[in-house]
Homo-oligomer: A and B are copies of this chain.
Amino acid sequence: MQERIDRIKDQLHAASYKLTPQRESTVRVLLENEADHLSAEEVFLKVRERSPEIGLATVYRTLELLAELKVVDKINFGDGVARFDLRKEGAEHFHHHLVCIECGAVDEIEEDLLGEVEKKVERDYQFKIMDHRLTFHGICHRCQK
């Protein structure tokens, strides 16, 4: 935990930003809720439990900054709110998501399923792929029962 924070601190410094207490609180919330896909508002509420004086705008600015540094991915499942998802360290790609249309749960797929597909796309469309976003919509294993 601490070492991941240190790593993020380094990334911030490398881009000449500081790890302020507010930013650290925000990062901690993200780390503690790594399995979820929190919205800015949700992050804000959790951060405020620990640092009641923090402002919503600061959370937005911090999340924006972390997205810029590729510490988090900003994702949008079409419900009108941006959600934030910590990247696995060293991951160069966005991971994939399974969105359940019954219960709304969002599960993750860590493995990269698109290796072959990307080769084909780069070849057939002369498109240099930098990143991808893949989401499946359907019924999760829990709701199938």
Please report A residues at the B interface, Cβ cutoff 8 Å: 74, 76, 78, 98, 101, 107, 109, 113-114, 116-118, 120-121, 125-141, 144
Contact = CB atoms under 8 A, between A and B. Distances in A.
Nearest to A94: B137
Given A118-B136, A128-B139, A134-B135, 4 more contacts: A74-B78, A98-B127, A128-B144, A129-B137
Number of copies of chain A assembled together: 2
B133 A139 contact: no
Contacts of A144: 126, 128
Contact of A135 (B78, B118, B128, B132): B132
A137 B130 CA distance: 6
